[in-house]
Amino acid sequence: MARREWKPADERGSSPVEFVLVGALLTALTLAVLQLGFAVYVRNVVHDAAVEGAHHAALADTSLSEGAARTEQVIARAVGTDFAEDVAVGESGSLWHPTVVVRVRATLPVIGLIGIPYAMEVEAHAPVETLGEG
């Protein structure tokens, strides 16, 4: 009885298929990392705008509405007006002294600039400037 040698199946044409599968996976991974970076960038821009708006509104010669306008202006200049949807400015005493609080709710970008409305919320505080004696 003769022994038969095992031979692997014909693998011609498998390289292009492997290339497409691996290429698609790496492309998806690269796009996901880029989108994550973009979402973090938008969050940082919105937070920095809230901080700037809070500091602007806390000045002795400005109003809360000017702080909100400043926040919206910074966001619109950096990432667009769609991300300055809901800006709320108020006063608080929760930090044992009067503070201005700026709260921004914005779109969280999921695919490019398209995202989930009001999914991201940031808050910034600034001490109120006083022109007291002393």
pLDDT in tens, 34-70: 999 999 999 999 999 999 999 999 988 888 999 999 9
In this predicted structure, the answer to whether residue 134 has a pLDDT above a threshold of 50 is no
Q: What is the pLDDT of residue 110?
A: 86
Q: Which residues of 22-44 are buried (b: 16+ CB within 10 A; e: fewer)?
A: eeeeeeeeeeeeeeeebeeebbe
Task: Give 62-108 pLDDT, tens digit per residue.
Answer: 889 999 999 999 999 998 888 888 899 998 887 788 899 999 999 88
Domain boundaries, the chain: 20-127
Cite the DSSP H helix spans in 1-134. Answer: 14-57, 64-78
pTM of the predicted model, to two decimals?
0.79
